[in-house]
Amino acid sequence: MNQAMRHWRGPQLPGSLLTRRVAPRSFDPNQLAIGVKVELEHTGQPELAMEIAMAHLTERGDYYELLEKMERSPSKRGIRTRR
């Protein structure tokens, strides 16, 4: 994540939710680190992973906490629960 923060030039994705005024330091560092790690699974570009993570965190500050809870849920693992 440090590499991505050093090279951050502002949003690069067309239609990004981010503005040039948004900086990585605007986000919870733990959530941003988790987000970059998750997004690096989809892209090998740290700067792009950071931008995607920041966009998700702009929409919802606990995005990656919720994602982790959802991925640990029984239904995600193919286990049916009774209702």
State the virtual CA torsion across 36, 40, 42, 48 in degrees, nearest 10: 70
Mean pLDDT of 46-56: 89
Tell me which of 14 and 60 has the higher pLDDT: 60
Cα atoms in the Cβ-side hemisphere of radius 13 Å centred on 34:
15
What's the pLDDT at 26?
86
Q: Flag whether pLDDT at 41 surpasses 70.
A: yes
> Per the domain annotation, does 35 fall within a domain?
yes
Number of domains into which the chain is organized: 1
User: What pLDDT is stored for residue 81 in this prediction?
Assistant: 56
Let me know if residue 77 belongs to a domain: no
User: Measured between alpha carbons, how far is 71 from 45 in angstroms, rounded to an integer?
Assistant: 24
For residue 53, what are the domain limits?
A: 2-9+25-72
Sign of the CA dihedral running 42, 47, 53, 56: negative
Q: What is the pLDDT of residue 72?
A: 85
Is 29 part of a structural domain of the chain?
yes
Instruction: Give the integer Cα–Cα distance in Å for 77 and 44.
Output: 26
